[in-house]
Each structure stands twice: as structure tokens, then as C-alpha cells.
């Protein structure tokens, strides 16, 4: 308990404090960006982008090693992930607009092909002398044990930039998410705004790979807005509630992981967010299960008394 309180109050060490702050900013950005993705009904696109990032990570490592480096620069690896994830996003967009494939089929195709290519490349890298100590498998489930100060700062800055862009683009993204036809009549480029929504989700996905991992990063984008939906019917309010749930859940998860070093940070954050979702589903005043049951019992009692 003492270790947990120290981690929660940022007194468990400099690196643990950086990871907690970085996780909180990432969770805040993920909750806000994920809200627009959910409202646009594109939640699983982020899952495909995360899996599509794997071959880019491995190729970036191979390129950095070929250039004489160690290949472990997080910035270089995330740049490779961004290029590969962006390519996957563009392929999905092309398949859905230029072919007869439905969006779910395009997502499945891109996810499977890119992730399969990444696993093959990851196997090839393991045969390299430098690849045996690369630690690239940490990007599958996330790991903070070997995270450097520069890595934590990069994650925090990336989350802050995504959050700022969400604030600047909130009005056109909300309009396109609810009524793209009306947005087009007002002169908005709905395709560009659609790509901006997906691009911000992709940015959160790429930034969070080291912390949460590509298998679980989609939960950071989906769970906070789904939980926030129980608390309000207003989109603008939902966005910031989702950001608060995401930031608080990521911070608490990082603190729990720091107080118990054997617990992986990414899965703990996801479990904390899942607990927040369960509480929202049960206790939200308008849409929660307890509130709905109470209203039902009250109406039933009034009906019986009236009869």
C-alpha cells in the first residue's frame, strides 16, 4: 500500500513519475480522439492501424541497424510504425471507396496482411545478431521496464499534441461524425475531415505502442468513450468525460504497475479502464443499470398504487 501511494503521488522515482504522467496524457488524448472515432462508427479502424504498424517497426529497426545504429531509438521505431500504419489506413480507405468491399472486410484484410508481414519480419530479425536483444516483442503487449526518460517525454508530448489538434478540430469532426451530408453542404471537405479523425486515432495508436502494445491499444481508444456515453447525451460533454476517464485510468494503471514491478503496465491500464466502464454502466445516473432498475421499480409501484 505504501508503494502504491508513493507511485500515485509521483514519489516512486523519477522514471515512474514520467511514465505515469506520460500515460495520463496519452489516456486523455486517447479518450478524446476515440470519442470522435466512436461517434463516426469507426472504432475497429484503430485496431487495424495498430496491427498494420508492426511491419513498419521491424523495418525501421532493420534500417537503423544497417545504418550503424543499435536500432532501439523509440522515435525511429515510431516513425516506421507511423509510415506503415498510415499505409494501412490509406489502403483501407481505398478499398472501401474504390471497390465493393464493405468496411469490415477491408479492415480484416488490412489487419491480417500487415500483421502477418510484421510477424514474418519479426522472425527474420530474431536471426540477426542485433535482433536478439532488440526487444521489439515489447511492442506487442507494451513494456515500460526499459523505458528511458526521452521515451516517456516523447509519449507525453505526442499525447499533448494530439489533444491540442482534437481541440482545434472538434467542431468539424463532431459535425462530420453526426451528419456528413450536412457538413458537405456547409462546405467542409468530409473526406479530409474523416482522414483527420482516423489520423488522430492513428497518432494515439502509434504513440501508445510502447506503453500499451499494439494488441491492447485499441482498448485505450474505445473503452473511455463507451464509458462516457453512459453519463451524458451531449457530444461535447462526452468527449471530455471520455478524456477524463482515459487519463485517470491510465494514470492509476501506471501507478499500480509501478508499485508492483511484475505487473505489465499496458494490461493493468486496460483492466483499470474496464473497471471504470463497469462502474459507469452500473452507476451512471441516466443510463446506468442501477438507475434504470430504480426507475422501473418506482414506475411499477406508482402503477400499482394507481390501480
Burial of 87 (0-12, 13-18, 19+ CB in 10 A): middle
Half-sphere exposure of 243 (CA within 13 A, CB side): 20
pLDDT of residue 263 exceeding 70, the answer is yes
pLDDT of residue 169 exceeding 70, the answer is yes
pLDDT recorded at residue 134: 55
Burial of 108 (0-12, 13-18, 19+ CB in 10 A): middle
- Which H or E run contains 73? none
pLDDT recorded at residue 287: 83
pLDDT of residue 307 exceeding 60, the answer is no
pLDDT recorded at residue 159: 84
> Rounded distance, CA 304 to CA 218, Å?
47
Domains and CATH numbers, the chain: 2-306 (1.10.3470.10)
Per DSSP, 214 falls in state T
Sign of the CA dihedral with 32 first, then 46, 209, and 226 last: positive
pLDDT recorded at residue 130: 59
pLDDT of residue 276 exceeding 90, the answer is yes
Nearest to 57 by CA among 266, 205, 269: 205
Query: Residue holding cell 451530408?
Result: 181
pLDDT recorded at residue 109: 86
Average pLDDT of 288-300?
A: 85
pLDDT recorded at residue 243: 92
Average pLDDT of 241-264?
A: 87
pLDDT of residue 11 exceeding 70, the answer is yes
Q: Give rounded-to-5 percent helix, strand, coil for the chain.
A: 80, 0, 20
- At 25, the pLDDT band (50, 70, 90 cuts) reads confident
Per DSSP, 10 falls in state T
Average pLDDT of 81-86?
A: 88
Chain-centroid distance, C-alpha 128: 31
Q: SS3 letters for 83-143?
A: HHHHHHHHHHHHHHHHCCCCHHHHHHHHHHHHHHHHHHHHHHHHCCCCHHHCCCCHHHHCC
pLDDT recorded at residue 199: 86
Q: Read off the pLDDT of residues 90-145 as tens digits, 9 standing for 90 and up.
A: 888 888 888 888 877 888 888 889 989 988 888 888 777 655 555 676 676 666 65
- % of the chain surpassing 70 pLDDT: 92
> Rounded distance, CA 269 to CA 205, Å?
15
Coil, helix or strand for 64?
A: helix
- At 195, the pLDDT band (50, 70, 90 cuts) reads confident
> Rounded distance, CA 173 to CA 199, Å?
12
Amino acid at each position: 500500500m505504501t508503494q502504491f501511494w508513493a507511485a500515485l503521488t509521483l514519489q516512486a522515482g523519477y522514471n515512474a513519475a514520467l511514465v505515469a504522467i506520460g500515460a495520463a496524457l496519452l489516456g486523455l488524448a486517447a479518450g478524446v480522439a476515440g470519442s470522435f472515432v466512436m461517434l463516426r462508427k469507426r472504432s475497429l479502424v484503430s485496431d487495424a492501424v495498430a496491427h498494420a504498424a508492426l511491419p513498419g517497426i521491424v523495418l525501421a529497426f532493420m534500417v537503423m541497424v544497417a545504418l550503424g545504429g543499435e536500432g532501439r531509438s523509440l522515435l525511429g521505431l515510431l516513425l516506421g510504425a507511423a509510415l506503415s500504419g498510415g499505409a494501412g489506413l490509406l489502403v483501407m480507405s481505398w478499398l472501401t471507396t474504390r471497390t465493393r468491399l464493405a468496411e469490415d472486410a477491408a479492415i480484416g484484410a488490412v489487419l491480417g496482411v500487415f500483421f502477418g508481414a510484421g510477424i514474418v519480419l519479426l522472425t527474420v530479425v530474431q536471426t540477426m545478431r542485433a535482433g536478439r536483444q532488440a526487444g521489439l516483442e515489447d511492442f506487442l503487449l507494451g513494456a515500460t521496464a526499459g523505458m528511458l526518460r526521452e521515451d516517456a517525454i516523447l509519449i507525453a508530448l505526442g499525447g499533448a499534441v494530439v489533444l491540442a489538434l482534437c481541440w482545434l478540430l472538434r467542431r468539424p469532426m463532431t459535425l462530420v461524425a453526426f451528419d456528413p451530408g450536412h457538413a458537405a453542404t456547409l462546405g467542409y471537405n468530409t473526406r479530409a475531415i474523416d482522414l483527420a479523425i482516423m489520423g488522430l486515432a492513428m497518432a494515439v495508436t502509434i504513440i501508445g505502442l510502447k506503453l500499451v502494445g499494439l494488441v491492447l491499444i485499441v482498448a485505450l481508444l474505445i473503452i473511455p468513450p463507451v464509458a462516457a456515453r453512459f453519463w451524458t447525451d451531449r457530444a461535447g460533454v462526452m468527449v471530455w468525460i471520455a478524456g477524463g476517464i482515459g487519463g485517470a485510468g491510465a494514470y492509476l494503471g501506471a501507478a499500480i504497475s509501478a508499485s508492483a514491478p511484475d505487473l505489465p503496465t499496458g494490461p493493468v491500464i486496460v483492466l483499470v479502464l474496464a473497471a471504470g466502464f463497469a462502474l459507469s454502466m452500473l452507476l451512471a445516473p441516466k443510463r446506468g443499470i442501477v438507475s434504470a432498475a430504480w426507475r422501473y421499480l418506482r414506475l411499477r409501484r406508482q402503477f400499482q398504487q394507481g390501480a
